[in-house]
Structure 1
Protein backbone atom coordinates (compact mmCIF):
# COMPACT_ATOMS: atom_id res chain seq x y z
CA UNK A 1 0.00 0.00 0.00
CA UNK A 2 2.82 2.39 0.85
CA UNK A 3 4.48 1.67 -2.49
CA UNK A 4 1.26 2.51 -4.33
CA UNK A 5 0.93 5.83 -2.47
CA UNK A 6 4.60 6.61 -3.07
CA UNK A 7 4.22 5.94 -6.81
CA UNK A 8 1.05 8.04 -6.94
CA UNK A 9 2.82 10.90 -5.14
CA UNK A 10 5.88 10.74 -7.44
CA UNK A 11 3.71 10.67 -10.56
CA UNK A 12 1.70 13.70 -9.40
CA UNK A 13 4.77 15.71 -8.43
CA UNK A 14 6.76 14.80 -11.54
CA UNK A 15 3.86 15.26 -14.00
CA UNK A 16 3.95 19.06 -14.27
CA UNK A 17 7.65 19.03 -15.05
CA UNK A 18 7.33 16.38 -17.71
CA UNK A 19 4.21 17.77 -19.32
CA UNK A 20 4.42 18.21 -23.08
CA UNK A 21 2.19 21.28 -23.03
CA UNK A 22 4.09 24.42 -24.01
CA UNK A 23 4.72 26.96 -21.30
CA UNK A 24 4.08 30.64 -21.82
CA UNK A 25 7.84 31.23 -21.94
CA UNK A 26 8.27 28.44 -24.48
CA UNK A 27 5.46 29.85 -26.59
CA UNK A 28 7.04 33.30 -26.53
CA UNK A 29 10.44 31.85 -27.50
CA UNK A 30 8.85 29.95 -30.39
CA UNK A 31 7.05 33.10 -31.56
CA UNK A 32 10.26 35.14 -31.47
CA UNK A 33 12.13 32.43 -33.37
CA UNK A 34 9.37 32.32 -36.00
CA UNK A 35 9.37 36.13 -36.37
CA UNK A 36 13.14 36.20 -36.85
CA UNK A 37 12.94 33.42 -39.47
CA UNK A 38 10.25 35.27 -41.43
CA UNK A 39 12.32 38.48 -41.36
CA UNK A 40 15.39 36.63 -42.68
CA UNK A 41 13.38 34.93 -45.43
CA UNK A 42 11.81 38.24 -46.42
CA UNK A 43 15.26 39.78 -46.81
CA UNK A 44 16.20 36.94 -49.17
CA UNK A 45 13.03 37.63 -51.20
CA UNK A 46 13.84 41.35 -51.34
CA UNK A 47 17.41 40.76 -52.51
CA UNK A 48 16.23 38.29 -55.13
CA UNK A 49 13.69 40.78 -56.47
CA UNK A 50 16.24 43.59 -56.51
CA UNK A 51 18.48 41.56 -58.84
CA UNK A 52 15.60 41.35 -61.35
CA UNK A 53 14.78 45.06 -61.27
CA UNK A 54 16.56 47.72 -63.33
CA UNK A 55 19.62 49.12 -61.61
CA UNK A 56 18.93 52.18 -59.51
CA UNK A 57 21.04 54.70 -57.70
CA UNK A 58 21.70 54.00 -54.05
CA UNK A 59 18.63 55.23 -52.18
CA UNK A 60 18.98 56.62 -48.69
CA UNK A 61 16.08 55.98 -46.34
CA UNK A 62 15.57 56.82 -42.71
CA UNK A 63 14.81 53.74 -40.66
CA UNK A 64 12.60 54.32 -37.61
CA UNK A 65 14.11 53.37 -34.29
CA UNK A 66 13.17 49.95 -33.03
CA UNK A 67 12.04 50.33 -29.45
CA UNK A 68 9.85 47.30 -28.77
CA UNK A 69 6.86 45.29 -29.91
CA UNK A 70 4.52 48.29 -30.07
CA UNK A 71 6.76 50.29 -32.42
CA UNK A 72 7.71 47.22 -34.47
CA UNK A 73 4.05 46.36 -35.05
CA UNK A 74 3.30 49.93 -36.13
CA UNK A 75 6.31 50.15 -38.47
CA UNK A 76 5.54 46.79 -40.08
CA UNK A 77 1.95 47.95 -40.61
CA UNK A 78 3.25 51.02 -42.47
CA UNK A 79 5.57 48.87 -44.58
CA UNK A 80 2.71 46.50 -45.34
CA UNK A 81 0.65 49.46 -46.56
CA UNK A 82 3.49 50.65 -48.81
CA UNK A 83 3.85 47.18 -50.28
CA UNK A 84 0.11 47.00 -51.05
CA UNK A 85 0.34 49.84 -53.54
CA UNK A 86 -1.66 48.99 -56.69
CA UNK A 87 1.40 49.35 -58.89
CA UNK A 88 3.54 46.97 -56.86
CA UNK A 89 2.32 43.59 -58.01
CA UNK A 90 5.99 42.61 -58.04
CA UNK A 91 5.87 42.71 -54.26
CA UNK A 92 3.14 40.12 -53.66
CA UNK A 93 5.42 37.65 -51.82
CA UNK A 94 7.26 40.33 -49.88
CA UNK A 95 3.97 41.99 -48.90
CA UNK A 96 2.63 38.62 -47.73
CA UNK A 97 5.82 38.10 -45.69
CA UNK A 98 5.63 41.54 -44.08
CA UNK A 99 1.91 41.13 -43.38
CA UNK A 100 2.56 37.76 -41.73
CA UNK A 101 5.43 39.26 -39.76
CA UNK A 102 3.24 42.14 -38.58
CA UNK A 103 0.50 39.72 -37.51
CA UNK A 104 2.92 37.57 -35.54
CA UNK A 105 4.48 40.60 -33.84
CA UNK A 106 0.99 41.89 -32.98
CA UNK A 107 0.04 38.47 -31.57
CA UNK A 108 3.24 38.28 -29.52
CA UNK A 109 2.60 41.79 -28.18
CA UNK A 110 -0.91 40.82 -27.11
CA UNK A 111 0.45 37.67 -25.45
CA UNK A 112 2.87 39.84 -23.49
CA UNK A 113 0.11 42.37 -22.62
CA UNK A 114 1.77 45.18 -24.60
CA UNK A 115 -0.32 48.15 -25.74
CA UNK A 116 -1.02 47.86 -29.46
CA UNK A 117 -2.55 50.61 -31.57
CA UNK A 118 -4.89 49.96 -34.45
CA UNK A 119 -3.22 49.12 -37.74
CA UNK A 120 -2.12 52.27 -39.56
CA UNK A 121 -4.41 53.30 -42.41
CA UNK A 122 -3.26 53.42 -46.00
CA UNK A 123 -2.25 56.77 -47.31
CA UNK A 124 -2.91 57.57 -50.96
CA UNK A 125 0.21 57.83 -53.08
CA UNK A 126 0.73 59.80 -56.25
CA UNK A 127 2.84 57.16 -58.04
CA UNK A 128 4.22 59.73 -60.48
CA UNK A 129 7.43 57.76 -60.74
CA UNK A 130 6.53 54.10 -60.16
CA UNK A 131 10.02 52.67 -60.79
CA UNK A 132 11.54 55.04 -58.26
CA UNK A 133 8.71 54.27 -55.85
CA UNK A 134 9.35 50.53 -56.22
CA UNK A 135 13.03 50.95 -55.43
CA UNK A 136 12.26 53.22 -52.50
CA UNK A 137 9.70 50.78 -51.08
CA UNK A 138 12.04 47.81 -51.41
CA UNK A 139 14.93 49.75 -49.90
CA UNK A 140 12.77 50.87 -46.97
CA UNK A 141 11.68 47.29 -46.32
CA UNK A 142 15.23 45.97 -46.63
CA UNK A 143 16.77 48.57 -44.32
CA UNK A 144 14.02 48.18 -41.74
CA UNK A 145 14.33 44.39 -41.65
CA UNK A 146 18.12 44.54 -41.44
CA UNK A 147 17.85 46.99 -38.54
CA UNK A 148 15.13 44.85 -36.98
CA UNK A 149 17.36 41.76 -37.05
CA UNK A 150 20.19 43.73 -35.42
CA UNK A 151 17.80 44.68 -32.60
CA UNK A 152 15.85 41.42 -32.34
CA UNK A 153 16.26 41.59 -28.55
CA UNK A 154 13.55 44.30 -28.67
CA UNK A 155 11.03 41.50 -29.33
CA UNK A 156 11.17 40.82 -25.60
CA UNK A 157 9.98 44.29 -24.55
CA UNK A 158 6.84 46.31 -25.17
Structure 2
Protein backbone atom coordinates (compact mmCIF):
# COMPACT_ATOMS: atom_id res chain seq x y z
CA UNK A 1 0.00 0.00 0.00
CA UNK A 2 2.79 2.42 0.92
CA UNK A 3 4.56 1.69 -2.36
CA UNK A 4 1.52 2.62 -4.44
CA UNK A 5 1.02 5.83 -2.43
CA UNK A 6 4.69 6.70 -2.94
CA UNK A 7 4.41 6.07 -6.70
CA UNK A 8 1.27 8.19 -6.88
CA UNK A 9 3.03 11.00 -5.03
CA UNK A 10 6.06 10.85 -7.38
CA UNK A 11 3.78 10.81 -10.42
CA UNK A 12 1.85 13.86 -9.21
CA UNK A 13 4.96 15.82 -8.28
CA UNK A 14 6.95 14.96 -11.42
CA UNK A 15 4.07 15.23 -13.91
CA UNK A 16 3.83 19.03 -14.14
CA UNK A 17 7.51 19.32 -15.11
CA UNK A 18 7.27 16.57 -17.69
CA UNK A 19 4.04 17.58 -19.33
CA UNK A 20 4.46 21.32 -19.74
CA UNK A 21 3.24 22.79 -22.99
CA UNK A 22 5.88 23.82 -25.51
CA UNK A 23 6.73 27.50 -25.54
CA UNK A 24 6.26 29.68 -28.60
CA UNK A 25 10.02 29.52 -29.15
CA UNK A 26 9.95 25.71 -29.06
CA UNK A 27 7.06 25.67 -31.51
CA UNK A 28 8.86 28.02 -33.91
CA UNK A 29 12.06 25.97 -33.70
CA UNK A 30 10.13 22.73 -34.34
CA UNK A 31 8.35 24.27 -37.33
CA UNK A 32 11.64 25.50 -38.82
CA UNK A 33 13.16 22.03 -38.36
CA UNK A 34 10.11 20.52 -40.02
CA UNK A 35 10.41 22.91 -42.98
CA UNK A 36 14.10 22.07 -43.40
CA UNK A 37 13.36 18.32 -43.20
CA UNK A 38 10.59 18.53 -45.81
CA UNK A 39 12.85 20.54 -48.14
CA UNK A 40 15.59 17.91 -47.79
CA UNK A 41 13.14 15.06 -48.40
CA UNK A 42 11.74 16.84 -51.45
CA UNK A 43 15.25 17.17 -52.89
CA UNK A 44 15.69 13.41 -52.42
CA UNK A 45 12.38 12.86 -54.26
CA UNK A 46 13.60 15.09 -57.10
CA UNK A 47 16.91 13.24 -57.40
CA UNK A 48 15.10 9.90 -57.41
CA UNK A 49 12.67 11.10 -60.09
CA UNK A 50 15.50 12.45 -62.25
CA UNK A 51 16.95 8.93 -62.49
CA UNK A 52 13.66 7.77 -64.06
CA UNK A 53 13.38 10.62 -66.57
CA UNK A 54 15.27 10.98 -69.83
CA UNK A 55 18.41 13.06 -69.56
CA UNK A 56 17.45 16.68 -69.09
CA UNK A 57 18.70 19.44 -71.33
CA UNK A 58 21.02 21.93 -69.65
CA UNK A 59 18.60 24.44 -68.15
CA UNK A 60 19.77 27.76 -66.80
CA UNK A 61 17.50 29.16 -64.13
CA UNK A 62 18.21 31.64 -61.38
CA UNK A 63 16.03 31.08 -58.32
CA UNK A 64 14.48 34.19 -56.78
CA UNK A 65 16.21 35.69 -53.78
CA UNK A 66 15.16 34.48 -50.36
CA UNK A 67 14.43 37.44 -48.16
CA UNK A 68 12.20 36.09 -45.39
CA UNK A 69 9.00 34.23 -44.57
CA UNK A 70 6.76 36.51 -46.66
CA UNK A 71 8.74 36.01 -49.88
CA UNK A 72 9.36 32.31 -49.20
CA UNK A 73 5.65 31.68 -48.75
CA UNK A 74 4.85 33.56 -51.96
CA UNK A 75 7.56 31.77 -53.99
CA UNK A 76 6.50 28.34 -52.72
CA UNK A 77 2.90 29.22 -53.65
CA UNK A 78 4.02 30.02 -57.20
CA UNK A 79 5.96 26.75 -57.43
CA UNK A 80 2.99 24.83 -56.03
CA UNK A 81 0.75 26.36 -58.70
CA UNK A 82 3.21 25.43 -61.42
CA UNK A 83 3.41 21.87 -60.11
CA UNK A 84 -0.40 21.57 -60.33
CA UNK A 85 -0.24 22.00 -64.10
CA UNK A 86 -1.59 18.93 -65.94
CA UNK A 87 1.74 18.68 -67.77
CA UNK A 88 3.51 18.02 -64.48
CA UNK A 89 1.24 15.29 -63.06
CA UNK A 90 4.30 13.04 -62.89
CA UNK A 91 5.52 15.34 -60.12
CA UNK A 92 2.56 14.74 -57.79
CA UNK A 93 4.72 13.75 -54.79
CA UNK A 94 6.90 16.82 -55.24
CA UNK A 95 3.79 18.98 -55.58
CA UNK A 96 2.46 17.55 -52.31
CA UNK A 97 5.81 18.28 -50.63
CA UNK A 98 5.92 21.87 -51.91
CA UNK A 99 2.30 22.43 -50.92
CA UNK A 100 3.08 21.17 -47.41
CA UNK A 101 6.15 23.40 -47.25
CA UNK A 102 4.14 26.42 -48.35
CA UNK A 103 1.51 25.74 -45.69
CA UNK A 104 4.10 25.39 -42.93
CA UNK A 105 5.95 28.53 -43.98
CA UNK A 106 2.66 30.46 -44.14
CA UNK A 107 1.70 29.15 -40.68
CA UNK A 108 5.11 30.11 -39.29
CA UNK A 109 4.78 33.59 -40.79
CA UNK A 110 1.41 34.04 -39.10
CA UNK A 111 2.81 32.75 -35.79
CA UNK A 112 5.61 35.34 -35.77
CA UNK A 113 3.31 38.13 -37.00
CA UNK A 114 4.81 38.50 -40.48
CA UNK A 115 2.66 39.96 -43.24
CA UNK A 116 1.39 37.19 -45.50
CA UNK A 117 0.32 37.87 -49.06
CA UNK A 118 -2.72 36.20 -50.53
CA UNK A 119 -1.86 32.87 -52.05
CA UNK A 120 -0.91 33.34 -55.73
CA UNK A 121 -3.67 32.42 -58.16
CA UNK A 122 -3.06 29.24 -60.10
CA UNK A 123 -2.43 29.46 -63.79
CA UNK A 124 -3.11 26.65 -66.18
CA UNK A 125 -0.82 26.96 -69.12
CA UNK A 126 -0.30 24.73 -72.06
CA UNK A 127 3.19 24.17 -73.30
CA UNK A 128 4.11 23.06 -76.74
CA UNK A 129 7.03 21.20 -75.22
CA UNK A 130 5.76 19.21 -72.22
CA UNK A 131 9.05 17.39 -71.58
CA UNK A 132 10.98 20.65 -71.49
CA UNK A 133 8.32 22.17 -69.25
CA UNK A 134 8.59 19.20 -66.88
CA UNK A 135 12.37 19.52 -66.65
CA UNK A 136 12.18 23.31 -66.22
CA UNK A 137 9.66 22.99 -63.39
CA UNK A 138 11.73 20.32 -61.69
CA UNK A 139 14.84 22.49 -62.01
CA UNK A 140 13.02 25.52 -60.57
CA UNK A 141 11.89 23.57 -57.51
CA UNK A 142 15.29 21.96 -56.99
CA UNK A 143 17.24 25.21 -57.25
CA UNK A 144 14.79 27.07 -55.01
CA UNK A 145 14.94 24.39 -52.30
CA UNK A 146 18.74 24.25 -52.52
CA UNK A 147 18.81 28.02 -52.05
CA UNK A 148 16.28 27.81 -49.20
CA UNK A 149 18.42 25.29 -47.34
CA UNK A 150 21.49 27.49 -47.79
CA UNK A 151 19.52 30.44 -46.42
CA UNK A 152 17.48 28.69 -43.73
CA UNK A 153 18.30 31.52 -41.33
CA UNK A 154 15.79 33.57 -43.40
CA UNK A 155 13.05 31.39 -41.87
CA UNK A 156 13.49 33.50 -38.74
CA UNK A 157 12.76 36.87 -40.36
CA UNK A 158 9.76 38.37 -42.11
> Shared topology, TM-score over 0.5?
yes
Summarize the alignment of residues 1-158 of structure 1 with structure 2, pairs less than 5 Å apart: 20-158=20-158
Q: Report the Cα offset of residue 124 of structure 1.
A: 3.1
Runs of 5+ consecutive residues of structure 2 not aligned to the other structure? 1-12
Runs of 5+ consecutive residues of structure 1 not aligned to the other structure? 1-10
Q: Report the Cα offset of residue 54 of structure 1.
A: 0.6
TM-score by length of 2: 0.87
1:6 is matched with none
Distance 1:122 1:19 in 2: 43
Q: Name the count of aligned residue pairs.
A: 144
Structure 1 runs of 4+ with >6 Å offset: none
TM-score by length of 1: 0.87
Report the secondary structure of 1:145's partner residue: helix
Distance 2:56 2:28 in 1: 40
Distance 2:76 2:32 in 1: 15
Q: Report the Cα offset of residue 126 of structure 1.
A: 2.5
Distance 1:104 1:144 in 2: 16
- What RMSD, in angstroms, separates the aligned Cα atoms of the two structures? 1.3
The answer as to whether partners of 2:69 and 2:155 remain within 8 angstroms in 1 is yes
The answer as to whether partners of 2:87 and 2:133 remain within 8 angstroms in 1 is no
1:7 is matched with none
Distance 1:82 1:19 in 2: 43
Distance 1:153 1:116 in 2: 18
Distance 1:66 1:41 in 2: 20
